[in-house]
Chains A and B, each alone.
Chain A
Amino acid sequence: MDLQKFVAKRSNWTIPYALFLAFFVVLPLILIGVYAFRNTEGSFTLQNFTRFFTQSEALNTFIYSVGIALITTLLCILFGYPAAYILSNAELTRGRTLILLFILPMWINVLMRSLATVALFDFMHLKLGEGALIFGLCYDFLPFMIYPIYNTIQKIDKSYIEAAQDLGATRLQVFLKVIWPLSIPGIVSGIMMVFLPTISTFAISEILTLNNKRLFGSIIQDNMMMSDTMNYGAALSLIMLIIIAVTSFATRTQNDNDLNDGGLI
């Protein structure tokens, strides 16, 4: 009888998933913190963090990753913004097929897309290396820049543009004074979806540079996979996690909108 009453109250239906989230999402993230402040014997230490800041290898890789991520993000804005702008012009694109073609690659995993980049470079007899890495990353992440920008430009109230035109603005002025400022939230979301994943990328850099250049994600992975450096790996992950948390908090309002409109594809 009590059980029936319990099930009849539908808000109780959240409980299984709440427990699942606690155990498989929250607890694991806490564990990253726990491992990060421990040494291999299991006692408290700050050594994992001092090691990051004093040992040049990880720190250099981190700085190098930030540099590569910045270049990738800038290139994605440079090539992605015009594409998103053109796509949002309904006269030119008619229907959703074109935008769909731009979004589809988002759903093929990065590893496969990187292999495709290798295939392209092989085909054109180009050498793999830093150039391939930057090309590959842009190739991988461009759709993630186009989509949020397209989404925001689409949602701009057309009467603003008409009002500007009525008041005598030229097309350039309409763009600079109306469309560009209103599309900045989309660019911010795009940066979130390109910059952070680029830093934490692993596997891609190894494949595209034949193991010559490594990004921060690879360093995390290497340390994580060996039991004697696992705690150091956890500390590096925690640093990554803090960067993510800070940036997603700073850009929270934009993200909430993007996630809740349900328009993932």
Chain B
Amino acid sequence: MMKKILAKSYLYLLLLVLYAPIAIIILFSFTNSKSIGDWRGFSLDLYANMFTGQAAHSTTIARAVVNTLVIAVAAAAISTLLGTIAAVGIFNMRNRNLRQAIQFTNNIPMINPDIITGISLFLLFVSIGISGGYITVTLAHVAFCTPYVVLNVMPRLARMNPNIYEAALDLGATPMTAFRKVIIPEIKPGMVSGFLLSFTLSIDDFAVTLFTKGSNGLETLSTYIYADARKGGLTPELRCLAAVIFLTVLVLLLVFNRRSNRLAKQ
């Protein structure tokens, strides 16, 4: 009994340490004070500043939010398309060595620290002379998101009964129709999980974006925060931004987790 209480309190203590900083940021985003720890009563001023243009950088913040979302949607959509097609291809490969080579390469972006992914893509874009912008950042995000789509779609393919596809062909469906009517419905849950995961990874990314965004002034939320934090400390409005990002990521992940739990139960 005593042991149980000790064990449980250890877990809760650790959770407290893990979440306290996040809670402090969120708490102090609701008061109009220069520094954290100085509570000046409840107020939504900082949020208002962020969106209405009172803060010095509010237009940049708004633009950074838009950039982040546009890139995340584009990268997630492209990754899902590319990854799904690839998963079907890999699943049907007969050549074992080739198949292993592709799967090995697919793992590289997941194992590499993001600074290496960022630098390697930066060198690629420099070598072929493309200056950084939306396109380079989106391509870079596709590069590290697609492996997760492949990994989410493959298990669905493995669980499928291959005879259904053959049956569709025997009944006169063209391969394309059979793919649309038989395979897509089966792997759709994996595709949706892959999309959600890619979207989350993309809005969350910092290092790869920093190296591929170029010098034309493109900022996403995380690179904007970095630039600002580098200048010295946290400007008050950034607390709101951090609070919004924390909550968005947490909600996205909870949705994602409920989905995968439900799918696992099926």
Contacts and interface: CB of A to CB of B under 8 A. Distances in A.
Interface of A: 7-8, 10-18, 20-21, 23-29, 31-32, 35, 79, 82-83, 86-87, 89, 92-93, 96, 98, 100-102, 104-105, 107-113, 115-120, 122-125, 139, 142-143, 196-197, 200-203, 206-207, 217, 220-221, 224, 230, 233-234, 237, 240-241, 244, 248, 255, 259-260, 262, 264-265
A202 B111 contact: no
Nearest to B93: A11
The 4 closest A-B pairs by CB, nearest first: A14-B89, A13-B89, A17-B86, A28-B120
The secondary-structure label for the interface of chain A is: helix
The secondary-structure label for the interface of chain B is: helix
Given A234-B123, A237-B115, A264-B197, 14 more contacts: A14-B90, A14-B93, A24-B121, A25-B105, A83-B14, A104-B250, A105-B22, A108-B22, A110-B206, A200-B115, A221-B115, A237-B116, A237-B120, A244-B112
A143 to B, nearest CB: 8
Contact of B115 (A86, A100, A116, A217): A217
A28 B260 CA distance: 34
B15 interface: yes
Nearest to A101: B15
Contact of B20 (A11, A120, A143): A120
11 contacts: A14-B102, A26-B105, A83-B14, A86-B7, A86-B11, A96-B261, A118-B229, A119-B239, A207-B230, A237-B116, A262-B152
Interface stretch (B41-49, B54-62, B69-77, B241-249): B241-249
Contact of B207 (A28, A202, A241): A202
A30 to B, nearest CB: 9
Q: Which of A21, A201, A234 has the most CB of B within 10 A?
A: A21
Interface residues of B, number: 89
B17 A233 contact: no
A218 B191 CA distance: 36
A155 to B, nearest CB: 16
A85 to B, nearest CB: 9
B234 A119 contact: yes
B222 A87 contact: no
A104 B121 contact: no
Interface of B: 4, 7-8, 10-11, 14-15, 17-22, 24-25, 28, 35-37, 82-83, 85-86, 88-95, 102, 105-113, 115-116, 119-124, 126-127, 139-140, 142-143, 146, 148, 150-152, 155, 175-176, 197, 200, 204-207, 211, 222, 225-226, 229-230, 233-234, 238-239, 242, 245-246, 249-250, 253, 256-257, 260-261
Given A119-B21, A202-B207, A32 B246 contact: no
Nearest to A233: B119
A100 to B, nearest CB: 6
B242 A104 contact: no
A244 B24 contact: no
B190 to A, nearest CB: 10
Given A24-B143, A112-B245, A142-B18, A220 B119 contact: yes
